Amino acid sequence: MVGPLRPKFVLFGSSIVQLSYTNGGWGAYLTTVYSRQADIVLRGYSGWNSKRALAIVDQVFPQDAVVQPDLVITYFGGNDAMEYNPSGTSPHVPLEEYIENMRKIALHLKGLSDKTRLIFLSCPPLNEEQYISAHGNEMIRTNEASERYSEALLKLCKEIGVKAIDLFNSIRRKDNWENISFTDGIHLSAEGSSVVAEEIEKVLKQAEWEPSLNSDSMPTEFP
């Protein structure tokens, strides 16, 4: 809408996306890094699972939009990986259905335009004790489930040729990760967010994608 036209990067996902501009978040970081080059558009929906995301993906990303995104960074899975709860209040989605939903979301996003690139983020780990003390233990989240959902997403991404970031293992690579990565056991602290930002930058550089940080196709506006 504002010219000259810049590449558009969309951040699409649940709370780890919606909250990515708080606590020195990775969304705010990307906005700063690309401040003279690309527009970062936030499409974060706290609490959502892949089922809800699939239901609206064609409204958030209409096939016939005049301008399509250059990059979509997508994260759903943490809420899907929660345990099923007989009262029906859990956003749990069974693993196979989660993967099919993510496959369909990838297909829709890839179909938006030839230039549209994708990065999927897999489920991060959590600090189970910190989570329970912040949120109670009615809704159950475990590292065991997060790891399964993360692994399955990485496998899907390999199969369909989508760049993926292994958040489960990236975050756990830091010393004392349990205690420095989260604000409430699940949502990312500045430390946790810095891992996401670093991994995204790595993928953008490794992929030699246009748009990339040093690409001629993404000049700095009014240098």
Q: Which residues bind a copy of itself (CB under 8 A)?
A: 1-4, 8, 10, 18-19, 21-22, 24-25, 27-29, 31-32, 35-36, 39-45, 56, 59-62, 65-69, 221-222
Write down the least CB distance from residue 30 to a copy of itself, Å.
Answer: 9
CA distance 218 to 147: 36
Q: Which residues contact 71 (CB under 8 A, 6 or more apart)?
A: 7, 8, 9, 10, 116, 117, 118, 119, 209, 211
Catalytic site includes residue 166: no
CA distance 2 to 99: 37
Catalytic site includes residue 92: no
Query: Whose Cβ is closer to a copy of itself: residue 64's or residue 208's?
Result: 64
Which one from 108, 184, 189, 212 is the annotated catalytic residue? 184
Reported as half-sphere exposure (CB side, CA atoms, 13 A), residue 181 has a value of 24
Query: Whose Cβ is closer to a copy of itself: residue 118's or residue 156's?
Result: 118
Write down the least CB distance from residue 184 to a copy of itself, Å.
Answer: 16
Write down the least CB distance from residue 120 to a copy of itself, Å.
Answer: 18
CA dihedral 74, 79, 81, 86 (to 10 degrees): -150
What is the DSSP code string of 133-172? Answer: HHH-SSS---HHHHHHHHHHHHHHHHHHT-EEE-HHHHHH
Query: Whose Cβ is closer to a copy of itself: residue 104's or residue 148's?
Result: 104
Query: Whose Cβ is closer to a copy of itself: residue 158's or residue 219's?
Result: 219
Query: Whose Cβ is closer to a copy of itself: residue 27's or residue 185's?
Result: 27
Q: In a 10 Å sphere around its CB, with 0-12 CB exposed, 13-18 middle and 19+ buried, how is residue 134 labelled?
A: middle
> Cβ distance 4 to 221 under 8 Å?
yes
What is the spatial order of strands in the sheet that 163-165 belongs to? 39-44, 8-13, 71-75, 117-121, 163-165
Q: What are residue 118's DSSP bridge partners?
A: 72
**Host H or E run for residue 79:** none
Write down the least CB distance from residue 201 to a copy of itself, Å.
Answer: 16
Write down the least CB distance from residue 40 to a copy of itself, Å.
Answer: 8
Give the residue numbers annotated as catalytic, written as ranges.
Answer: 14, 184, 187
